[in-house]
Amino acid sequence: MLQIFAVTFPFFALIAAGYLAARRRILPIDAIPGLNVFVLYFALPCMLYRFGARTPIDKLLDGSVALVWGVGALLVVALTLWATRRGRIGWNDGAFGALVAAFPNTGFMGVPLLATLLGSQAVAPAIISMILDMVVTSSLCIALSRLDAAGESGARHALGQAFRGMVINPLPWSILFGALASALQFTLPGPLDVTVGLLADAASPAALFTIGAVLARSALLSKGRRAPAGDVLPIVAAKLLLHPLLVYALGRAAIALGLPLTDAALTVIVLVAALPSASNVSMLAERFGADSGRIARIILWTTVAAFVTFPLAVRWLV
């Protein structure tokens, strides 16, 4: 167990450093969006491109992984909506609560952490899960969030907004270009490859530090508007307990039915499900008028709790 903590501790320590830097105003709040831009548009795309280019294309097209992950995500969304959408929580807040329960922090945290823990073979299943979350789970929850006010027309409009957001998001494109490079066995020219490598190497520490800073910013901006614990803790439990257990059960069922899902790939996607919630969900909630303070608090508590629960999941599976 100490060996697992020795691997995971630096990742959570960088998140804590970013949180404290922003909370203590050592890092100005106004600088956080710029830091986020560097990670999202420069460092992380280079890291994902490099991972994609170095991963055999057949590993990136694993239909069994996609099926198990997709069904698991949809079940988490449905169960979270059923359990939490009541009284004052309408479709908008309920949908973003479901999204934060089903969308782990795979890009900023999961890919580098799992590559460190399990090696390069962990990258492909993690990337498949991330693509499905960005394309399917996010679009579905954004569409559901519009059902409060405008019914089906509002949902269609929200799906259009989600699609436009996906098109301008550099992460899916970087994965796609990396996969094409892998399929064509293409390598970048030397100086360009070094440049991409430098940005890729900066992605993990910068992304983790930025997660902490974003969480601190959300906490500072939502001060005095705290969501009740009853609206937060069930979703924290859904993210860190229900989601990985569902994925594990679905994976075991898929293997029993004869689907070509390997134990190694199942281990990776269960650990992806055990990650804390994606930090960008609070920004999406803010953009669509949901209770972003509630979402930010859920993300914060899943991140804090995962310091203990994620190593336990690693010990259970590895």
Domain coordinates in residue numbering, the chain: 2-317
Rounded CA-CA distance 153/248 in Å is: 37
CA atoms within 13 A on the CB side of 70: 13
Q: Could you tell me the fold of the domain covering 2-317?
A: Na+/H+ antiporter like fold (1.20.1530)
Residues 243-252 have pLDDT tens digits of: 999 999 999 9
Give residue 124's identity as a one-letter amino acid code.
Answer: A
Going 116 to 236 to 278 to 36, the CA torsion angle's sign is: negative
- Phi first, then psi: what are they for 277, rounded to 5°? -65, 150
State yes or no: pLDDT of 93 exceeds 80.
yes
Across 139-143, average pLDDT:
87
Rounded CA-CA distance 264/71 in Å is: 19
Q: What is the mean pLDDT of the chain?
A: 89
Q: What is the pLDDT of residue 2?
A: 82
State the CB neighbour count (10 A cutoff) for residue 135: 15
Q: What is the pLDDT of residue 160?
A: 67
Rounded CA-CA distance 301/297 in Å is: 6
CA-angle at 8, arms to 106 and 207, nearest 5°: 45
State yes or no: pLDDT of 134 exceeds 70.
yes
Residues 18-55 have pLDDT tens digits of: 999 999 999 999 999 999 899 999 999 999 999 999 99
Rounded CA-CA distance 317/113 in Å is: 15
Q: Which two tokens stand for residue 316?
A: 């259970």
* E runs forming strands in 25-154: none
Query: What does the buried/exposed string (b/e) look like for 177-192 if buried means 16 or more CB atoms within 10 Å of the residue's CB?
Result: bbbebbeeeeeeeeee
Spatial CB neighbours of 300, under 8 Å, sequence gap ≥ 6:
215, 218, 219
Would you place residue 211 in the very low, low, confident or very high pLDDT band (cuts 50, 70, 90)? very high
Q: What is the pLDDT of residue 161?
A: 63
Low-confidence winner among 134-143, 171-180, 219-228, 282-291 (lowest mean pLDDT): 219-228
Would you place residue 318 in the very low, low, confident or very high pLDDT band (cuts 50, 70, 90)? confident
- Phi first, then psi: what are they for 86, rounded to 5°? -150, 155
Q: Which two tokens stand for residue 290?
A: 């949901």
Question: Which stretch, 93-102, 134-143, 151-160, has highest mean pLDDT?
Answer: 93-102
Rounded CA-CA distance 295/101 in Å is: 10
